[in-house]
């Protein structure tokens, strides 16, 4: 009935995970891809980001490709291209290293646990290195939104334009090392398969009130348009933009 009511769970899930985003998608092969922290049946915290494949709609999982074993990696998001390549973004150490990272691999790499494919493709999309400074409102970005002014980055999302092959990535950051009214969202793009990136827009709504922009997402609609969404909070009120 279009989601109004649901049956009881038929098969208890074997998946265990910490409180953070997991990435799940159906691949061109028909199999499922899951990116989570640690082995399927373990909660290891925000470390050991791994990829798994299921050939039976999630009943069992194979592979276990290590994406990033460091503590402090989180919020993966990805997309598969027509040639089978899987693009993935995630964040690392939001107030320390302050990195948004990009890797690419294939379903075969996941099943073979081909760590070399991941390590060879890993790129830093953005690295914040700044100290706290007075916030401003700029759209598109200028010197106030450069990477060296960021004391906080995290929660990326990625989308691929099927018509042009252009990659888009978004995340949120800020000039103070935390989740507060100084957060704004960044939109970055790559025209060479993720080798180089350019930040083109920010969503920073601090025009006259203390407002926080965070948790952005990207989606390419069927008409080919890029849709960029984020959460905008004013005080204790949250609005979906």
| pLDDT on residue 129 | 74
Q: What is the pLDDT of residues 136-145, one digit of tens each?
A: 344 567 677 8
**Which run of H or of E encompasses 121?**
helix 115-121
Beta bridge partners of 102: 89, 123
Six token digits for residue 216: 């952005």
| pLDDT on residue 138 | 42
When pLDDT is cut at 50, 70 and 90, the band that residue 239 belongs to is: very low
Higher-confidence residue: 102 or 133?
Answer: 102
| pLDDT on residue 241 | 43
Percent of the chain clearing pLDDT 90 (strictly above): 65
Q: How many helical (H) and strand (E) elements, i.e. helices and strands, does the chain have?
A: 2, 15
Higher-confidence residue: 180 or 66?
Answer: 66
Q: What is the pLDDT of residues 185-232, one digit of tens each?
A: 999 999 999 999 999 988 887 644 567 889 999 999 988 899 998 888
| pLDDT on residue 207 | 47
SS3 letters across 172-217: EEECCCCCCCCEEEEEEEECCCCCCCEEEEEECCCCCCCEEEEEEE
Selection from 228, 189, 177, 232 nearest residue 210 by Cα: 232
Higher-confidence residue: 13 or 236?
Answer: 13
Q: What is the pLDDT of residues 86-120, one digit of tens each?
A: 999 999 999 889 999 999 999 999 999 999 999 99
pTM of the model: 0.66
| pLDDT on residue 167 | 96
Evaluate if residue 48 carries a pLDDT over 70.
yes
| pLDDT on residue 11 | 73
């Amino acid at each position: 009935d279009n989601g109004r009511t649901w049956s009881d769970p038929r098969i208890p899930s074997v998946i265990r995970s910490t409180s953070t985003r997991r990435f799940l998608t159906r691949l061109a092969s028909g199999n499922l891809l899951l990116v989570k922290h640690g082995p399927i049946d373990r909660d290891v915290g925000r470390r050991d980001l791994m990829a798994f494949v299921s050939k039976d709609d999630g009943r069992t999982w194979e592979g276990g490709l290590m994406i990033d074993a460091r503590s402090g990696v989180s919020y993966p998001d990805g997309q598969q291209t027509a040639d089978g390549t899987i693009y993935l973004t995630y964040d690392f150490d939001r107030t320390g290293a302050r990195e948004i990272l990009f890797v690419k691999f294939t379903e075969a790499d996941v099943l073979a646990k081909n760590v070399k494919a991941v390590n060879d493709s890993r790129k830093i999309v953005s690295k914040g290195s700044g100290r706290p400074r007075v916030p401003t409102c700029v759209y598109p970005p200028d010197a106030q939104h450069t990477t060296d002014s960021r004391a906080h980055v995290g929660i990326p999302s990625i989308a691929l334009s099927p018509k042009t092959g252009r990659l888009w990535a978004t995340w949120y950051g800020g000039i103070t090392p935390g989740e507060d009214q100084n957060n704004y969202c960044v939109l970055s793009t790559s025209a060479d398969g993720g080798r180089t990136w350019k930040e083109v827009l920010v969503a920073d709504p601090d025009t006259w009130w203390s407002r926080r922009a965070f948790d952005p997402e990207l989606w390419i609609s069927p008409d080919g348009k890029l849709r960029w969404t984020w959460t905008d909070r004013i005080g204790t009120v949250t609005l979906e933009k």
